[in-house]
Amino acid sequence: MSVLVEAHSIIVRCDAIDDRYPGGWERFAAEVPNRTLCSDGEIARVGFMQPTDAQAYINHLVRCGLRFREHGTAVDLAAAFQLSGMLVPCTWLEFGRIFLNPCSASVAFCRLRGGTNTQLVKPDNWKYEGSLSQTFGFFPSDTEGMGITFRRHENGMDVYYDSLAEKEVYVGRTGE
């Protein structure tokens, strides 16, 4: 099987969650800071729109006993970006793109290396229409001089005004 990769995705081995995360899967799932969790039973994925939020989550997982990397290689968890793949070498994961059906665009995925089943596991209530897989756009961290103005933070979102598009744009956040 495989899990969806959108934006900045943190991929965690389920056996590591069971072995080293205090409280195992139940506590791990309860502590996910957003609604992007999905799992195929071998790996679990949590997604973030901001790299700083993804890094904060990695730091949380490491504080809980999981290992991010040793000798430059991912151990219990890895980070993947939907456009470019794995952020650090990972011997136990494969990154790729698959089609949801023969007529649709592709989406990014990860699966345990050597797996052949490409059935995609997605977060509850996820649909392609309107998803980051369909509408992804790069939002630079430095928006000065680009016509993008921060307006407010509300309901877990940073809200900006894009003067070129003449509309508000939203960036989901898990951190403040």
Task: Give the contacts of 173 (CB within 8 A, at least 6 positions apart).
Answer: 49, 50, 53, 153, 156, 157, 158
Residues 54 and 116 in one domain: yes
3-state secondary structure of 19: helix
Per-residue pLDDT tens for 94-146?
999 988 876 678 899 999 998 776 689 999 989 888 888 887 655 555 555 55
Residues 126 and 145 in one domain: no
Using a cut of 0.85, tell me whether the model's pTM lies above it: no
| Cβ atoms 133, 107 nearer than 8 A | yes
The pLDDT assigned to 39 comes to 96
Residues 25 and 48 in one domain: yes
* Residue 61 banded pLDDT, cuts 50, 70, 90: very high
Residues 174 and 144 in one domain: yes
User: Residue 77 pLDDT more than 90?
Assistant: yes
Residues 50 and 11 in one domain: yes
* Residue 152 banded pLDDT, cuts 50, 70, 90: confident
**Mean pLDDT of the chain, nearest integer:** 86
Residues 85 and 16 in one domain: yes
Residues 117 and 144 in one domain: no
User: Which domain does 175 fall in, by range?
Assistant: 139-176
